[in-house]
Amino acid sequence: MIVVGELINSSRKAIAQAIAQKDKAYIQTIARNQAEAGASFIDINGAVGGNELENMKWLVEIVQEVVDMPLCIDSPDPVALKVGLELCRKTPMINSISAEADRWEQILPMVQQFKTKVIALCMDEAGMPESVADRLRVAEKLVTGLTAAGVPEDDIYLDPLVKPLAVNHSFGVEILETTRALRQKYPNVHIISGLSNVSYGLPERKLLNRIFMIMSAAMGMDAFILDPLDQTIMSLLAGSRALAGQDEYCMDYIAGFRAGKIKA
Ligand code: THG
């Protein structure tokens, strides 16, 4: 299972404030804590509040001063993505490409040039997907187009685009069914989601995020954008991986327990 640590995101008030005040120590502590907690990638988003190019450059530089791990460069602006990618020391992930023509044309060359991993959103000109069928149709365009462009399947992370359960009680099931179908059709492509979208507008969000992680992992999702400082979700993830047959002799589960990282 792959974890993208979501906490360095300028849509969060504490991060927007730390960026505005150039509070390097605060950002670096969050980066270190996410790495220590077991994140595989650290998401970097400096899009909110203006000066995105400068923010991206600063965030990528100061995070790499303290953690030796790959970043997930997250921006709606292709220029900001490029600024981030050029500074990355380890092969990064791009968040994100989609099947919208503009986005596709701007992002694909960067995926090829920097040989990155890439999150591919299941949306096209028609906008946000409205059904399982929409997502599967767009996923087919994405996987076919990316592989034809020379992107290895192992570098593709399909994102079915989770919507809030509070808006429609079927939005959880839509993602679970999409994940099951995608996993069957593309056994070698990664499937990723931002978990917290599902719980938006509901109480005890962490509870729903945790349950959704387990249910989607059972359907074949193998990558998650989440808060790795939630020790419970990280413990559940390690257990889910073992129970899904992906942890031989439960060695990682046991090692995680011995290291004090896995708790009920
Ligand atoms: N897919 C992809 N990228 C994504 C998402 C996705 N990026 C954004 C988001 N979804 C995942 N990232 C975050 C980052 C931070 C928070 C949630 C998701 C977060 N939110 C709190 C809230 O919403 O209440 C706190 C806000 C605050 O602290 O001010 O922490 O699905 N590809």
Give tens-digit pLDDT for 136-167. 999 999 999 999 999 999 999 999 999 999 99
Whose alpha carbon is nearest atom 18 of ligand 1?
196
The span from the CA of 4 to the CA of 194, in Å, is 9
Helix, strand or coil, per DSSP, at residue 94? strand
With pLDDT > 70 as the criterion, what percentage of the chain qualifies?
Answer: 100
Using the mean position of ligand 1's atoms as its centre, give its distance from the Cα of residue 96 in Å: 14
Q: pLDDT at residue 217 above 90?
A: yes
pLDDT value, residue 264: 95
Q: pLDDT at residue 181 above 90?
A: yes
pTM for this model (two decimals): 0.97
> Omega before 40 cis (within 30°)?
no
Using the mean position of ligand 1's atoms as its centre, give its distance from the Cα of residue 75 in Å: 13
Average pLDDT, the chain: 97
Q: pLDDT at residue 258 above 90?
A: yes
The span from the CA of 19 to the CA of 56, in Å, is 10
CA distances from 122 to 5, 69, 130, 209, 220 (A): 21, 27, 10, 21, 16
* DSSP code of residue 198: G
Atom of ligand 1 nearest to the CA of 161: 31
pLDDT value, residue 92: 98
pLDDT value, residue 49: 84
Q: pLDDT at residue 176 above 90?
A: yes
Q: pLDDT at residue 50 above 90?
A: no
Using the mean position of ligand 1's atoms as its centre, give its distance from the Cα of residue 248 in Å: 32
Using the mean position of ligand 1's atoms as its centre, give its distance from the Cα of residue 8 in Å: 10
Using the mean position of ligand 1's atoms as its centre, give its distance from the Cα of residue 11 in Å: 7
pLDDT value, residue 66: 98
What stretches of the chain adopt beta strand conformation (E)? 2-5, 41-44, 71-74, 93-98, 117-121, 156-159, 190-194, 223-226
Q: Which residues line ligand 1 (CB under 6 A)?
A: 6, 9, 12-14, 74, 95-96, 119, 159, 162, 193-194, 196-197, 225
pLDDT value, residue 26: 98
Give tens-digit pLDDT for 86-140. 999 999 999 999 999 999 999 999 999 999 999 999 999 999 999 999 999 999 9
Q: pLDDT at residue 227 above 90?
A: yes
